[in-house]
Amino acid sequence: MKLAELQRRMFAEITNTVISADYIKPNARLTARERLDIYRDQYWSRLIDSLRDDFPGLLLLLGERAFQKLAIEYLTACPSKSFTLRDLGQHLPAHLQNQPLEHDMARLEWAHIETYDALESEPLSATFTPDQALALQPHIRLLELQYPVDDVRLKTLSARAVKARRPATIHLATHRVEGDVFYRRLEPGEFAILQKLSTGKSLAKALRGIIANPEDLQRWFATWAQLGWLCHPPAKRTSARSRGQ
């Protein structure tokens, strides 16, 4: 059996159904299937543990048994395609799109992971013009959610209490201060402006169509400045052609 064929077969049998472990030698204590099962058990326990660590809020909402069932379904549908376990849950929000509460929690928890180790840019200096393109700190993620899942994750609201609630839109930013991840609730107008700024729009364009009183705007900007949320857009690469080469 060639290397690629053996690896495809063993990988499929570790991650899915064992058809035959006849390419593995038995020994005096273990059958070929039992030896393969050591790897199967390690695969599933390692990956499910990783999801459990990364999605504690989802675990709270679902409970241990349902979480494990979800993890197996998810990993079967979306096997890891990254060299790092850090990325294992990246498709979990999409996988849960038909379960609004769990979908919200998975989005928050994936945003938490991204915020934790994203780049931090130099905050914007005090002077900038209204027409100047701006950007948000790369570690900020903006979320519009139907349930207050941040409160469940922070354990200020029980899973039972949030399940009993009717959906009601909240706006949230995950962000980082000195290495720690924080969640900050946003007012709708503030969220709308930040969303536009996150796409590289200038302040003048971001404010277009936003109904907010000047005091609110001033307060929002003061908070963003204090948190260092605004920065310059990343420099565009100069192509070889534009350099005249």
Partner 1 sequence: MPANRFNGFTDYGVGVGLRIPHYDHILNRQPVVEWFEIISENFMVDGGRPLAILDQILERYRVVQHGVSMYFGSADKLNREHLRRLKTLVRRTKTPWLSDHLCWGSVDGRYSHDLLPMPYTFEAAKVTARKIREARDFLEVPIVVENVSSYAEFHVSEMTEWAFLNEVVERADCGILLDVNNIYVSSRNHGFDPYEYLNAVPADRVAQIHIAGHSTYEKYILDTHDHPVIDPVWALYEKAIARTGNTATLLEWDQHIPSFDEVHNEALKAKRYLVSA
Residues 133-162 touching partner 1, rule: CB under 8 A, are 138-139
Of 19, 28, 168, 235, the one binding partner 1 (CB under 8 A) is 28
Of 17, 126, 179, 238, the one binding partner 1 (CB under 8 A) is 179
Whether 13 contacts 40, CB under 8 Å: yes
In terms of Cα–Cα distance, which of 111, 119, 118, 126 is closest to 221? 126
Of 16, 69, 73, 79, the one binding partner 1 (CB under 8 A) is 79
As measured in angstroms, the least distance from the Cβ of 14 to partner 1 is 6
18 belongs to the binding site for partner 1 (CB under 8 A): no
In terms of Cα–Cα distance, which of 91, 62, 60, 52 is closest to 154? 60
Whether 153 contacts 57, CB under 8 Å: yes
34 belongs to the binding site for partner 1 (CB under 8 A): yes
**Rounded to an integer, what distance in angstroms lies between the CA atom of residue 80 and that of residue 47?**
9
212 belongs to the binding site for partner 1 (CB under 8 A): no
Of 64, 83, 131, 209, the one binding partner 1 (CB under 8 A) is 83
Whether 106 contacts 96, CB under 8 Å: yes
**Rounded to an integer, what distance in angstroms lies between the CA atom of residue 114 and that of residue 93?**
13
Of 17, 19, 64, 84, the one binding partner 1 (CB under 8 A) is 84
Look-up of token digits 């000047």: 214
Residues that bind partner 1 (CB under 8 A): 1-4, 6-8, 10-11, 14-15, 22-25, 27-30, 32, 34-36, 38-39, 42-43, 46-47, 50, 79-86, 88, 116-120, 138-139, 176, 179-180
